[in-house]
Amino acid sequence: MTQQPAKKLEKDGILLIEKPRDLTSFGVVSRLRRLIGERKIGHTGTLDPFAEGLLAVCVGQATRVVQFMDTYDKSYRVRILFGQATDTMDLTGTIIESRSFLPGELKALQDSDFQVIREAVAALVGPSMQMPPMYSAVKIDGQPLYKLAREGQTIDRQSRPITIYLADIDQIDCRPEHDQVEPYLALDLTLKVSKGTYIRVIADELGRHLGWFAHAISLERLTVGPFSRDHAISLDQLDLLFDQQLERNLAQNQVWQTLINQGLVYTMDDALADMPTLNVPMYLALRLAQGQNVVLHAGDLTTFAQTSFTPEFDLRLAVRCSVGLLGVIRLTLPSELTDLPVSPPYGYRLMPERIFLSHERLLPE
């Protein structure tokens, strides 16, 4: 009897990877493609090569939620070194400005319990505008800024709104000058920030505000939306699983199956856990999947709400039905009322942003 080929192992889900220092986020994706044998992989939220910590990676069909995970708040731990500013705003750059600490300056700072630093950190919290650094992946006319920066160019950039939700001082490392020892001042911060916030810029601006200059010398990402670094797996651990098999395809399948068995493969539902959720009947799910106009009043939204929320225009919601996660929609103005002054009694249109299920899966058998 001819042996049937093994059924292809479907690889769909979200992995939490511990990105090591000195590896790019794209480098992580490249290694994962080799280790699990899946080409369709995308990461959420680029980490600088000098940074480490949580990189959420979407595999297979789960790449559909990358666009929504990119909008999530994130938290970081950063060490900021005072006394020097660099062109990259981190330790990989060239020093462009510096200031030596005056005799007795750090001792006086220490005696005051670092009051000026504590006040400056407290003032970080809240909304503000931030200009992306030249050494960043932001594109201008299709060109990443960092490529232009390496060519010596400086391009006008638009400042963007950001919010710093939390700025906690973990440690102030202060070593006043004595016995020929160079003075040293560094600050360890834990920050929770909105999407698109550059921690390096915060370090640079904090140093300039205090008059000492500064740059980031270490950076760790702790959380991305509902996901935590505590549950991340390292690439070295995956390498070890891969090397235990002699045959490449078996090794790739074994790595994936082990991740599933250990509960390390997360679902799209997990990725959208912090998003308000509707649980709609099948007839509405089918209409949404087919792109039909669906308008619901606030009371209907409350009836279908799986999690509590206050309806408002432009609010993004996850939508479920009896088959599973249908997709993500946004509450908008009903199309027939676009020329009228509208208030919530007129209802909200459920505008699909991304539908994950085909309408064929929603049809009765």
In a 3-state reduction of DSSP, which class is residue 299? helix
Contact 145, 137 (CB under 8 A): yes
Cβ neighbours of 4 (radius 10 Å): 6
Closest Cα partner for 334 from 310, 360, 298, 361? Answer: 298
């959380």: which residue's tokens?
223
- Any catalytic annotation for residue 48? yes
Partnered with residue 355 across adjacent β-strands are 327
In a 3-state reduction of DSSP, which class is residue 282? helix
**CA distances to 11, 58, 141, 337 from 340, in Å:** 48, 42, 37, 5
Exposure class string for 147-174: b at 16+ Cβ within 10 A, else e: ebbeeeeeeeeeebebebeebeeeebeb
Which two tokens mark 355?
């539908």
- How far apart CA 109 and CA 87 sit, in angstroms, is 27
Closest Cα partner for 84 from 209, 175, 207, 188? Answer: 207
- How far apart CA 241 and CA 115 sit, in angstroms, is 50
Cβ neighbours of 26 (radius 10 Å): 10
Q: Which among 12, 22, 48, 170 is annotated as catalytic?
A: 48
Is the Cα dihedral 144, 150, 156, 157 positive or negative?
A: positive
Which two tokens mark 295?
């308008």
Closest Cα partner for 119 from 61, 169, 175, 59? Answer: 169
338-344, Cβ contacts within 8 angstroms, sequence gap of 24 or more: 344/297, 344/298, 344/311
Rg (the chain; Cα; Å): 25
Catalytic residue set: 48
